[in-house]
Amino acid sequence: MDTGDIDRRPAKVLLDVRGLHVAYGKAEVVRDVSFDVRAGEFVVILGRNGAGKSTILHAISALIPKRAGTVTFDGRDLTAATPRETVQAGIVQVLEGHRVFHTLSVEDNLLIGTYAKAPRGDPTKLERIYALFPELAQRRSQMASRLSGGQQQILAVAQGVIGDPRLLVLDEPSGGLAPIVIDRILEVAAALCAEGLAILLVEQLVEKALRHAHWGYLVETGRIAVSAPAERLRDGELVRRVYLGGHAA
């Protein structure tokens, strides 16, 4: 059967997660999750609050232990890697809730984002970041605590981008902020993706997330319930199924 162009994905698998199980004590919250992100793709993981999305991301970034399963990145086995090794391999995760260092300036927050690769930070990378995020360039010497919540979130994303990831992982960048902030972040993510950076996004604002994504996974109580081209998910039927009783838009 001809399923059309939208079903086609790049052949090269960048991130490959197989049979992932994660538990907090006795509570298994991620059950046999397998999915991948292909080279150059913008992939979104959708699912209701508490479905296990952040847990999946944290297991990939080695921030919590895996009970079972494997994580492979560009052919390299990262199943037993440390968080630092994961970052050095090119997976950079921006955590939920715009965490930046409040007592440091915008610029020092950015320089910290480069430490994983170069021991003393790399100021040459700053100009590229300021070009991508002019709102930060204007405030480079301001204390991060003086930024709005939206600006702090943009700073948190910029801190991830300056680390030169090959896969940028964003966990709910909307985080209760103004719609214009999430639009900015998703636009920058899409622009970086167009330059070849792969994106793995978890987001509650389904419509916005699907607007930029190529591929989507729906997680339902710790399992992948649907894997489909983002275009197919945009029609809403599959998304409604998973969010039944929740908010699909």
Ligand X SMILES: Nc1ncnc2c1ncn2[C@@H]1O[C@H](COP(=O)(O)OP(=O)(O)O)[C@@H](O)[C@H]1O
- Interface residues toward ligand X, by CB under 6 A: 24, 29, 47, 49-55
Binding site partner of 49, from Mg ion, ligand X, none, Cβ cut-off 5-8 A by kind: ligand X
- 3-state SS, the chain, equals CCCCHHHCCCCCEEEEEEEEEEEECCEEEEEEEEEEEECCCEEEEEECCCCCHHHHHHHHCCCCCCCEEEEEECCEECCCCCHHHHHHHCEEEECCCCCCCCCCEHHHHHHHCCCCCCCCCCHHHHHHHHHHCHHHHCCCCCEHHHCCHHHHHHHHHHHHHCCCCCEEEEECCCCCCCHHHHHHHHHHHHHHHHCCCEEEEECCCHHHHHHHCCEEEEEECCEEEEEEEHHHHCCCHHHHHHHCCCCCC
Q: What's the CA gap between 22 and 54, in Å, rounded? A: 11
Binding site partner of 232, from Mg ion, ligand X, none, Cβ cut-off 5-8 A by kind: none
Binding site partner of 179, from Mg ion, ligand X, none, Cβ cut-off 5-8 A by kind: none
Judged by beta carbon, residue 31 or residue 140, the one nearer Mg ion is: 31
What's the closest the beta carbon of residue 52 comes to ligand X, in angstroms? 4
Binding site partner of 103, from ligand X, Mg ion, none, Cβ cut-off 5-8 A by kind: none
Judged by beta carbon, residue 167 or residue 169, the one nearer Mg ion is: 169
In this structure, how many other beta carbons lie within 10 angstroms of the beta carbon of residue 187? 11
Binding site partner of 8, from ligand X, Mg ion, none, Cβ cut-off 5-8 A by kind: none
In this structure, how many other beta carbons lie within 10 angstroms of the beta carbon of residue 164? 17
What's the closest the beta carbon of residue 51 comes to ligand X, in angstroms? 4
Binding to Mg ion (CB under 5 A): which residues in 32-71? 54
Interaction between residue 174 and Mg ion (CB under 5 A): no
Judged by beta carbon, residue 8 or residue 247, the one nearer ligand X is: 247
Judged by beta carbon, residue 54 or residue 152, the one nearer Mg ion is: 54
What's the closest the beta carbon of residue 96 comes to Mg ion, in angstroms? 5
What's the closest the beta carbon of residue 14 comes to ligand X, in angstroms? 22
Judged by beta carbon, residue 15 or residue 126, the one nearer ligand X is: 15
What's the closest the beta carbon of residue 101 comes to Mg ion, in angstroms? 22
Output the six-digit token pair for 1.
């059967």
What's the closest the beta carbon of residue 64 comes to ligand X, in angstroms? 8
Q: Which residues bind Mg ion (CB under 5 A)?
A: 54
